[in-house]
Structure 1
Amino acid sequence: MLDNVQTLCKVTNGVLRQGDPQQKITGIMSRCKAVKPGQVYFDVKGGPGSDENILVALDKGAVALVISKHKKKLPFNNHKISVIAVPKVWDAFWDCVSYHRDQFNIPVVGVTGTSGKTTTKEMIASIFKKKWGKILKTEQNLNLPSFVPGHIMRLTAEHKAAVFEIGMNRRGHVAKQSRVIKPMIGIITNIGQAHVGMLGSKEAVIEEKGSIIEGIPKNGYLLINADDENSGKLDLSSFQGKTLRFGIKNKADYVAEDIATGLDFVSFKTVIYGKEEQIRVPISGKHNVYNALAAIAASTLLNIEVKYIKQGLAGFRRPKLRLQLVKGINDSLLINDTYNANPDSVIAGLEVLKELAKDRTSIAVLGNMLEQGVFTNEAHQRVGRRVQELGIDYLITIGKLARQIAVGARKHGMPEEKIKSFDQRYEGSFYLKKHMPHRAVCLFKGSRAVYLDKMVEYLKDPAASPQTIQIIR
């Protein structure tokens, strides 16, 4: 284990400039203000603020420092503090994270994709908990490389399994995380247009998502969506593990049939270990069948009993701000799906809106979708077209980019009088407060920076519950 300075020097190929090689350490940290007593502080930023950051880390209780070999002078004279010099501090930090991960021979699953990562991760975690009790999972949806060290360093001998969410907003992010996480099972939920603005093309996004295979061992597995067109374009020629597929429409290894959806559930039949099983998950939306199938597939590859799979999915708790149902003013139903948005997830949300509304008035409240780059107008107009195709009764857009959703809806025949566009969410809130139809069903969906959840808060029924969000059962 990484428990003393001597081991730290070996792992990082560092040189001990001063201090005791037997100095005990309790962990590592790259943010000076977050250092806890007994930890090692890695001076990853260096530069002009290096001295101040080091002093802050020492004040917080750091017992050792890892610095660049080019840093000649220290801002203190305490020779009891262990100081290790390395060629590149950030690389040394990740070497330690990777070393810590390698100390644990437990089942590990990594989940990437455009949409559904957090939901799939939570479904798997719920099953794992039923089987093993103590497991580790990515907190919330903190899935970029900067968060991975914190997650991995929480691994202890008590954890029996782990599931990590692998996100990205730059080229190389997925591969970097996968190589350290080393998942026995990698999952790509789907591949859509999110982050195309960052990477420049759809092909680059496909390549980036597919790079999860770089961390999967030769005896590992990759699970992909058989119904997702872009997943079918993955270059898996270098992958030495086994690829399996889950789906609803196309031929797959894990298939769902007889799908039924309700106000707060989705159910389906699938074959597990050669026997047909009825599955029920407490979250609405046909798209969540894919997430559940991925969780089932990962669980069967780890030989988890059917009873734990069923119990885990039945006990799954939907992530915050994802398809939460809230009682609104004038006896309306508000669908709070405001955590984030891309064209594919918004369209999935629209389909849930249509399913739940039935004969009630349906209203889509849609905000800006960020990170679409040169495809911004096209992406928003595509969503607008789907609003019209689904027969949504009213469309309200929030934000300047989202006005293109209205453009797309108009182009495909949605009447002008059924569309309202606002640059600010408070304008839309005031409008709906005044004009909310009786028993309407409203979907709120947009990128996190638009904060459409504040509209839900404003429009919820104040008499329904003292809590901010009330999940309707």
Structure 2
Amino acid sequence: MEYITLDEIICATRGEILVKGESTLYNNVCMDTRAIKDKDIFIALKGENFNANDFTCEASKKGASICIIDEMKFEKAEINGKTTIIKVGDTKKALRDLAKFYLSKLNLQVVGITGSTGKTSTKDLVAAVLSQKFKVFKTLGNFNNEIGLPMMIFKLDKSYDIAVLEMGMSDFGEIHNLCETSKPNIGIITNIGMSHLENLKTRENILKAKMEITDFFTEDSVLIVNSDNDLLEDVDSSNYKTIKTGIDSRADFKACDLNIFEHKITFAVKEAGILAKDTIEVNVPGRHNVLNSLLAVACGRVLCMSYDEIASGFKNLEATSMRLDITKGEKFTIINDCYNASPDSMLAAMDVLCNVSGKSKIAILGTMRELGDNAFDAHKQVGEYAKVKNIDLLITLGEFNEAYKQGFNDINKYRCFETYDEVISFLKGIIAPNDVVLVKASRYMKFESIARELVNLNSRANINSPVNINALEHINAKEVTGK
């Protein structure tokens, strides 16, 4: 973190000093007193079940140089003499405002990435490409909300050329706030799907919310969209430049000659209708990642990178964990895609499952969240797709088991359970050498626990001989239903 003065902090947060401390050095911004270090700036946020203003004294005792609060829950005599206390109207807004000011002191470009699915994968791909020519910072994990994104900004310093920032949302106004803080020069929208229908009700409203990424654009700004998505195909503006990428649609950057392998994709790129690069190789699976990679190609071209630089940049890819991690064990293969789930990403994951070589293809699927009144039908449609893709065994866990069952409509190849232990116990009895197992659900279901147990199972010697998946109806009824 670059140095900022006390006066700058007060001005940025519109705060007032309640207690003036002796310390004038500030290291990092912290919101958790358990992690606070000497000379940190502590910002006391409030949530549904906590109020960090209660821990102001603790932060001071641990060496915080500054505590930014919006409620006074301490006695001045309890404060360390080195700590300055600043009171603001709203600490959450103060966090964003301070990050906005801090970013304005750094001379770098900002790439903002949003979309219903593929944000994190696209972030990783864009950062990989750009790092071939620039020093690039990217959002860690999924620090993509109104708290996480400012914390990412505080990790920047003047050594970086570009910040690639992921932007998540669940309602109107959230992308607007993130962009007010980060002011992206380049915006990328991966797609408009069904995620967040619970709050926003329609896909058209989701598009409107995602388009808030342009709220602070100037005429020099660039919006890059996946025009294969039906709601993004006609996006355009006279106020900034719009670039479209795709496989099947009319696009400024178009992929052709696609090859989808187990662990990688290759494709050629046409720019403005002319073949610009005959082969680009990216070490990620799935046709959907061709679309994500095209967004990275376009971003590289906007920043004046050559196609050779872009192709080399993809070799720098460092993918975020639990997103289509394919582990080929000695006995069977695990596809760990536990980080999140939506209808679109479920279909993409099953495409990858079917493309990985192996014997029986097994999908373990859980609940997809934030789908509102469309939830039952969305889970049913995923079940229908699993049937179309000839998945050998569909296992589900969660509140929409019945929807999956109706969609899949094959009781001989379908099993539902109520607990993780029941799923693992069932798998121990039927999984066989060279099977391929996909594990996927929304983040809150914590399906990584199933993935970990599968890894453990894969390391044991007592894997069964191949079984006839179609004969599973003979298994004990209690095992089958999980009840």
Superposition TM-score, scaled by structure 1 size: 0.88
Match of 1:450 in 2: 445
Match for residue 478 of structure 2?
none
Contact residue 254 and residue 271 of structure 1 kept, 8 A? yes
Q: Partners in 2 of 1:100 and 1:257 — Cα distance?
A: 42
Tell me how far 1:41 sits from its aligned partner: 2.6
Checking the alignment, whether the CA contact within 8 Å between 1:272 and 1:306 is kept in structure 2 is no
Is the 2:21–2:81 Cα contact (8 Å) retained in structure 1? no
Residue type at the aligned position of 1:348: A
Q: Give the corresponding residue for 2:334.
A: 334
Whether the 8 Å contact between 1:5 and 1:22 is mirrored in structure 2 is: no
Work out whether 1:34 is the aligned partner of 2:29. no
Q: Give the superposition deviation at 1:233.
A: 6.8
Higher mean Cα deviation, 349-358 or 153-162? 349-358
Q: Which residue of 2 aligns with 1:55?
A: 57
Note if contact 1:181-1:215 (Cα within 8 Å) is conserved in structure 2: no
AA partner of residue 340 (structure 1): N
Which runs of 5 or more structure 1 residues have no equivalent in the other structure? Answer: 466-473
Letter in 1 for 2:401: A
Conservation of the 8 A alpha-carbon contact between 1:287 and 1:348: yes
Q: Which residue of 1 aligns with 2:286?
A: 285
Shift of residue 73, structure 1, vs aligned partner: 5.8
Give the partner amino acid of 1:215. Answer: F
Matches within 5 A, 1:395-406: 395-406=394-405
User: Equivalents in 2 of 1:129, 1:438: separation in Å?
Assistant: 40
**Match for residue 20 of structure 2?**
19
Deviations 1:115-146 (A, max 9, x none): 111111111111222212x3211001221211
Which of 97, 101, 113 pairs up with 2:115?
A: 113
Q: CA separation of 1:350/1:158 partners in 2, compared to 1, >3 Å: closer, same or farther?
A: same
Counterparts of residues 165-314 of structure 1 (less than 5 Å): 165-232=166-233, 240-271=239-270, 275-314=276-315
Contact map agreement 2:53 2:69 (CA 8 A) in 1: no
Task: Describe the shift of the 1:88–1:250 C-alpha distance in structure 2 as closer, same or farther (beyond 3 A).
Answer: same
Any conservation in 2 of the 1:223–1:246 contact (CA below 8 Å)? yes
Whether the 8 Å CA contact 1:9–1:15 is kept in 2: the answer is yes
* 1:27-53 deviations in Å (ceiling 9; x for gaps): 433444433322333334499966641
Residues 98 and 181, structure 1, Cα contact 8 Å, conserved in 2: yes
Task: Give me the whole-angstrom Cα distance separating, in 2, the residues matched to 1:213 and 1:51.
Answer: 34
Shift of residue 8 of structure 1? 1.8
2:477 paired residue number? none
CA 418–2 in structure 1, closer or farther in 2 if over 3 Å, else same: same
Q: Name which of structure 1's ranges 144-153 and 273-282 shifts more when overlaid on structure 2.
A: 273-282
Letter matched to residue 106 of structure 2: F
Alpha-carbon offset, residue 223 of structure 1 = 0.8
Superposed, which structure 2 residues align to 1:317-356 within 5 Å?
Answer: 317-328=318-329, 331-356=331-356
Matched, 1:376 2:375: yes
Inter-partner Cα distance in structure 2 for 1:383 and 1:26 = 48
Q: Which of 412, 415, 424 matches 1:420? A: 415
| More deviation, 7-16/422-431 | 7-16
Q: Summarize the alignment of residues 113-152 of structure 1 with structure 2, pairs less than 5 Å apart.
A: 113-132=115-134, 134-152=135-153
Q: Give the superposition deviation at 1:107.
A: 2.1
Cα separation, partners in 2 of 1:78 and 1:322, compared to 1, 3 Å = closer
* Displacement after TM superposition at 1:75 (Å): 5.4
Q: Structure 2: 5+ residue runs without aligned partners?
A: 461-483
1:153-181 CA-to-partner distances (Å, cap 9, x unmatched) read: 11101112110111123432211112211
In 1, the alpha carbon distance for the partners of 2:374 and 2:398 equals: 17
Q: Post-superposition shift, 1:328?
A: 4.9
Cα 1:423–1:328, aligned 2, differ >3 Å: closer, same or farther?
Answer: farther
Offset at 1:66? 3.0
SS in 2 for 1:211: helix
* Contact 1:29–1:39 (CA under 8 A) maintained in structure 2: yes
TM-score normalised per structure 2: 0.86
Task: Letter of the 2:243 partner, please give it.
Answer: L
Displacement after TM superposition at 1:336 (Å): 1.7
Partner Cα distance (2:79, 2:364) in 1: 60
In 2, the alpha carbon distance for the partners of 1:23 and 1:292 equals 45
What is the identity, as a one-letter code, of the residue corresponding to 1:211? E
Letter in 1 for 2:97: D
Q: How far, CA to CA, are the matches of 1:328 and 1:92 in structure 2?
A: 48
Kept in 2, the 8 Å contact 1:326–1:335? The answer is yes
User: 2-side partners of 1:8 and 1:357: how far apart?
Assistant: 56
Identify if the C-alpha distance between structure 1 residues 339 and 230 changes in structure 2 by more than 3 Å, giving closer, same or farther. same
Distance 1:142 1:77 in 2: 31
Q: What is the rounded CA distance, in whole Å, between the counterparts of 1:276 and 1:307 in structure 2?
A: 8
Identity %: 29
Per-residue deviation, 1:357: 4.4
Matched-pair contact (CA < 8 Å) for 1:4–1:21? no
Q: Aligned equivalents of 2:153 and 2:51: distance in 1? A: 27
1:83 is matched with: 85
CA offset at residue 60 of structure 1?
1.8
Aligned 8 A contact 2:194 2:343 in 1: yes
> Residue 2 of structure 1 contacts residue 8 of structure 1 at CA under 8 Å; is this kept in 2?
no
**1:469 alignment partner in structure 2:** none
Q: SS state of the match for residue 131, structure 1?
A: coil
1: distance between equivalents of 2:53 and 2:388?
Answer: 60
My pick for the range that moved more, 395-404 or 106-115, is 395-404
TM superposition shift of 1:12: 2.6
* Residue type of the alignment partner of 1:440: D
Tell me whether 200-209 or 100-109 shows the greater mean CA deviation. Answer: 200-209
Secondary structure (helix, strand or coil) at the match of 2:64 reads: coil
1:172-210 deviation line (CA, Å, top 9, x unaligned) = 221111221111111110111112123333332222111
Q: Is the 8 A contact 1:107 1:302 kept in 2?
A: no
What number of residue pairs does the alignment pair up? 457
Q: How far apart, CA to CA, are the structure 1 residues paired with 2:394 and 2:80? A: 65
Task: Please state whether the residue corresponding to 2:76 is helix, strand or coil.
Answer: coil
What code does the residue aligned with 1:309 have? I
Preserved CA contact (<8 Å) 1:51 1:74: no
1:272–1:300 contact (8 Å) kept in structure 2? no
